[in-house]
Amino acid sequence: MAKHWFWWFMTMACVVWYSTVTIYVAIKGGADIRHMLARLDATRAREAKEEREG
Amino acid sequence: MTNFNWLLDGSIVGVYLLATMAAGLMVRKYVGKVEHFLVAGREMDVYLGIASLAATEFGIVTCMYTAQNGYEKGFAGATPGILMALAMAAVGLTGFVIKPLRDSGVMTIPELFEKKFGPRIRWAAGVVIVLGGLLNMGVFLRTGGQFLVLVSGLDVKYLEIMMTALLVGVAVYTILGGMLSVLVTDYLQFIVMSAGLIVVTILILMNVGWENLVNSVETHYGAGGFNPFINPTMGWQYVLFNLMLNTAAVLTWQTIIVRVLAAKDTDTGRKVYTRTSFFFVCRFLIPGVWGIAALASLGPVANSLEAMPRYLGTAVPPGLMGLLIAAMLAADMSTDSSYMLTWGSVIYNDIMAPFRKTRWSEKRGLFWNRSIIAFIGVFLLLYGLWYPLKGDLWTYLGVTGTIYLASISVLLIACCYWRRANSWGAGAAILISAVIPITYLVMEQLPSTANLAKTIGPYYSGIATYLLSGAAMVVGSLLKPQAGINLQARIA
């Protein structure tokens, strides 16, 4: 481990960072999808209204 | 014989496939305009962007070539990943190129070029991007199929049928939902893919052990297995070529840059870059460790590309095998969908631009975008099944990618920051960076020139492409005696 500390550190950093980010992004990304679809819905409704009103 | 259990592992894979298809098809109702289809209405936020970028940039093909790098070069094989992470972080932090690009409000890079270099350069850049991108993507299917067949123990005669079915499934939701389907399925695929990658890596580290991995690299490659500069198959030229390649990819690779273009604003695009940067180390090092584990367990094998899947087929227990295959399918599907959509977007937006003199209706635009994706799917099936891959996979991808990465990165930097840059320089840069890699690929295939190609090697030819492309831009622009048009003024 001491001899090749750089690669040991990088490998461990990958496992720890990736595990943490996966959980975090899984939670926050789900909220992002809900907000994105809500915004698209709102835009669609607004455009349809504008079209009806000429 | 592998540990794949059709009932247990097959069920896990089946549930994953059904969930992905359902999610991909569910969002198709939100697609009403070409902008929704190509850039998700520019509504993508940071975390969805991170999930989507990470899922797209990790396919089975990525896992195969990075594991091959680990198997053939040891830990030093992860060098391209470290270089890419550094480039990604630097670009995200400074906003270099991506800020003016996103601020311009374009949907593709060639669209920006038209503002500075004119419509002909936009068209030529579109052709080069699609040519380089599709040649690159052409090997994805067969390589992905090789992995799945070897890990699951399926008869190799089913490879074509299996990959065709997978591609058709991906094409269906991409054609119907465009970028919105890509983002939502990427999110699911990121979770499944990451879970599989992390669990299998921990299993390998526990079963094989760190000391065994290190000893195996030391035995086979000595100090060169840890240091790319003293590895006889790498050296400074490998590091320099990969630095140029990865920086250019970060700036211009269509599937990466589309996340900036689909982001809700420039800051979001920059955050996606910065926060995803370390993923690119994981992208090379995690499968690299799998490749090293294959080296430690199997020793030398005839085909280094197949070493990792052969090893995993016997090392991963039933149950986890289902998660591994679902993870790899997730990785492959997210890559295929995003690649088909983004190359298709360039064909529609830029190559077909001369045929859209009058404004097309949204309905007509969507029809053509969907048809183009279907066409790309057919091309992938045909090309992917008959191109004979020679040399290592990462180098093939690097050489074909360079066809456009060199010129488009030079054009983009010049477009954003050099007032004097003009169409002569842009045309010369495109020509040079297409001619050198294509000549190299042809030389590699012809028996009479194969040895010369081997002597030159892919790294020197790659470095020459980047340098000469930059020189062509400078010389060409200076030869045309007119001032360039300030992009910022155009944007304003």
Tokens matching residue B491: 């944007």
Using an 8 Å CB-CB cutoff, list chain A residues near B198.
Answer: 15, 18-19, 22
Closest chain B residue to the Cα of A8, Cα to Cα: B210
Nearest residue, CB atoms, B43 vs list A10, A31, A39: A39
Please write the tens of the pLDDT for every residue from B79-124: 999 999 999 999 999 999 999 999 998 889 999 999 999 999 999 9
C-alpha to C-alpha distance for B225 and B232, rounded to whole angstroms: 10
Give me the interface pTM, i.e. the ipTM.
0.90
Choose between B395 and B414: higher pLDDT. Answer: B414
Contact B168, B377 (CB under 8 A): yes
Closest to A29 (Cβ–Cβ): which among B51, B82, B289? B51
- Quote the pLDDT of residue B314: 87
pLDDT for position A27: 93
Query: Which residue in B75, B191, B201 is closest to A15 by CB distance?
Result: B201
pLDDT value for B158: 81
Which pLDDT score, from 0 to 100, does residue B387 have? 62
**B484 pLDDT band (50/70/90 cuts)?**
very low
Q: Is pLDDT of A2 > 70?
A: no
Question: What single string gives the DSSP state of each residue in A9-52?
Answer: HHHHHHHHHHHHHHHHHHHHHHHHHHHHHHHHHHHHHHHHHHHH
Alpha helices (H) in B208-358, listed in sequence order: 210-221, 235-252, 254-262, 266-276, 279-298, 304-315, 320-346
Q: What's the one-letter identity of residue B268?
A: T
Query: Which segment, B16-25, B230-239, B252-261, B296-305, is predicted with the most confidence on average?
Result: B230-239
From chain A, the residues in CB contact with B43 under 8 A are 36, 39-40
pLDDT in tens, B203-217: 999 999 999 999 999
Question: B47 vs A10: CB contact, 8 Å cut-off?
Answer: no
Q: What are the distances in angstroms from CA B209 to CA A32, B213, B294, B317? A: 39, 6, 12, 17
| B90 Cβ contact list (under 8 Å, min separation 6) | B96
0.80 surpassed by pTM: yes
Contacts of B19 in chain A (CB under 8 A): none
Q: Which two tokens stand for residue B401?
A: 């990618």
pLDDT of residue B475: 95
Q: B27 in contact with A at a CB cutoff of 8 Å?
A: yes
Q: Which residues of A touch B278 (CB under 8 A)?
A: 13-14, 17
Q: What's the Rg (C-alpha) of chain A?
A: 23
Q: What is the pLDDT of residue B492?
A: 44
> How is residue B417 written in tokens?
């920051």
- What residues have CB less than 8 Å from B290, skipping those under 6 apart? B63, B67, B70, B200, B201, B204, B308, B311, B312
Digit-coded pLDDT (tens) for B372-384:
999 999 888 888 7
* Residue B48 contacts A, CB cutoff 8 Å: yes
Among the listed residues B458, B474, B374, the one whose alpha carbon sits nearest the alpha carbon of residue B417 = B474
Q: Do A22 and B210 touch (CB under 8 A)?
A: no
pLDDT reported for residue B264: 85
B287, two tokens: 């499968």
Confidence at residue B316, expressed as pLDDT on a 0 to 100 scale: 87
A16 in B contact zone (CB under 8 Å): no
Q: Which candidate from B78, B184, B194 shows the least CB-CB separation from A22?
A: B194
Count CB pairs under 8 A between chains A and B: 95
